[in-house]
């Protein structure tokens, strides 16, 4: 029964996480920051369990606690049911398409008419009923699934999930070993270990609230300099800066994602090193790093998928990645059995192996660096070709102007001579 409850909790938790990630589309260049805040609020919900434990220790029946919890869940359901939006939230691709339509409609001599119509029909801009069902450049889902970025993200996410979930499952045994050092025959040490494990477990549960506080930091990294980026839908060159110092939006997103993954993987390595040190008080820092990484990695992955893949693939890719990561995380059970069996509760060698395994997380930012350099070269080639075409058109117009001027001068001379 407990296994079924745990499975349903993870399943519906992922559903809530996926649904919440539709909301950040309304916030423009701050999409990743809002997305990380939503993920942080979801991850910090674990802070309620120490509260439930305190209520239960105070003498409240577990059945009463569960009935109250069910009532709160029913309230959330009613809130979502009655506050259902009339129109679907537009995806970033749909917003870009609406901008293209708006810029086309208000151009030329009909600019004033287009502005008046857009003011009268402002609600039409937020509706997706007029949008085409299939875009001309539709990317097949199979290409997104088998792309190198998604495959490397599976390695990174699977490794990180296994590392994080194994620590959560084996934390009590690890703390107990730090107190007893594998000596099960001392009754005094056993009592002390029980007290210390209970105390540090409460600290670990309370620190889960840090997810809500720290997750916006990784979202800020993902949104770095996005306001300075060149808008792909803007075709009017007069609105662009005269010095030409504009940033490509896609390249900036890849750069930000690369930095976010590097930062998260470095924190994961520091977390692994702290797990190796035989110091009980140092484990508080380990708890903090564990909480930060748990929120950061999901924000990085969601921001990367939103930056690279079409919006209609986003939810499916996130769900597929969550499923594969959950399957990889099942390895925590045999690792736990090895730790309490062959290793007699000593987690040193498993933690050391996890550190070496954590180095695989740098493969994804390494590929993002390679992909970013390729995009920069492509953009430089496109800019060079565009500059050459502009110069050719300018020279052509100057030559035509000189021809017209010379022809007019010769006619004037001919009239004077006659």
pLDDT given at position 249 = 81
pLDDT given at position 41 = 79
Domains, the chain, in order of start with CATH, read 10-60+150-228+246-379 (1.20.1250)
pLDDT given at position 351 = 94
Query: Of the candidates 27, 51, 15, which has an alpha carbon nearest to the alpha carbon of residue 227?
Result: 27
pLDDT tens digits, 260-306: 999 999 999 999 999 999 999 999 999 999 999 998 998 888 888 88
> In order along the chain (418 residues), what is the average pLDDT of each group of 10 residues?
49 58 66 78 78 85 90 86 72 65 58 46 43 56 92 94 92 91 76 88 88 87 78 47 62 91 96 94 94 90 86 85 90 92 91 94 94 90 79 69 52 44
pLDDT given at position 117 = 42
Q: pTM for the complete prediction?
A: 0.77
pLDDT given at position 20 = 59
């Amino acid at each position: 029964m407990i296994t079924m409850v745990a499975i349903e909790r993870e399943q519906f938790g992922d559903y809530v996480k996926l649904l919440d990630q539709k909301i950040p589309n309304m916030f423009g260049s701050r999409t990743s920051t809002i997305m990380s805040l939503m993920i942080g609020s979801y991850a910090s919900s674990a802070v309620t369990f120490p509260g439930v434990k305190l209520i239960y220790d105070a003498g409240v029946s577990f059945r009463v606690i569960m009935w109250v919890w069910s009532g709160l869940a029913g309230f959330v359901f009613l809130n979502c049911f009655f506050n259902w939006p009339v129109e679907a939230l537009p995806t970033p691709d749909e917003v870009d398409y609406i901008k293209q339509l708006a810029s086309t409609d208000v151009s030329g001599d009909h600019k004033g008419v287009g502005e008046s119509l857009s003011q009268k029909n402002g609600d039409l801009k937020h509706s997706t009923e007029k949008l085409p069902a299939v875009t001309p450049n539709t990317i097949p889902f199979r290409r997104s699934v088998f792309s190198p970025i998604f495959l490397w993200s599976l390695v990174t996410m699977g490794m990180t999930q296994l590392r994080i979930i194994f620590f959560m499952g084996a934390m009590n045994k690890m703390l107990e070993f730090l107190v007893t050092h594998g000596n099960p025959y001392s009754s005094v040490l056993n009592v002390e270990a029980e007290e210390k494990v209970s105390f540090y477990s409460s600290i670990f549960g309370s620190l889960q609230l840090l997810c809500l506080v720290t997750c916006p930091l990784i979202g800020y990294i993902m949104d770095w300099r996005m306001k300075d980026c060149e808008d792909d839908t803007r075709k009017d060159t007069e609105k662009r800066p005269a010095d030409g110092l504009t940033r490509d939006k896609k390249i900036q997103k890849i750069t930000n994602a690369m930095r976010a993954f590097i930062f998260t993987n470095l924190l994961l390595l520091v977390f692994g090193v702290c797990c190796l040190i035989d110091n009980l008080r140092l484990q508080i820092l380990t708890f903090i790093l564990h909480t930060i990484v748990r929120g950061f990695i999901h924000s990085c992955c969601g921001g990367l998928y939103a930056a690279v893949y079409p919006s209609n693939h986003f939810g499916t890719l996130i769900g597929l990645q969550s499923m594969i990561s959950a399957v990889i995380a099942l390895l925590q059970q045999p690792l736990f059995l090895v730790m309490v069996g062959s290793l007699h509760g000593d987690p040193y060698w498993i933690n050391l192996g996890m550190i070496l395994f954590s180095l695989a997380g740098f493969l994804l930012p390494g590929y993002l660096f390679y992909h970013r350099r390729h995009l920069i070269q492509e953009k430089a080639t496109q800019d060079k070709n565009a500059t050459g075409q502009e110069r050719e058109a300018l020279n052509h117009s100057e030559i035509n102007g000189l021809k017209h001027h010379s022809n007019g001068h010769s006619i004037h001379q001919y009239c004077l001579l006659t």
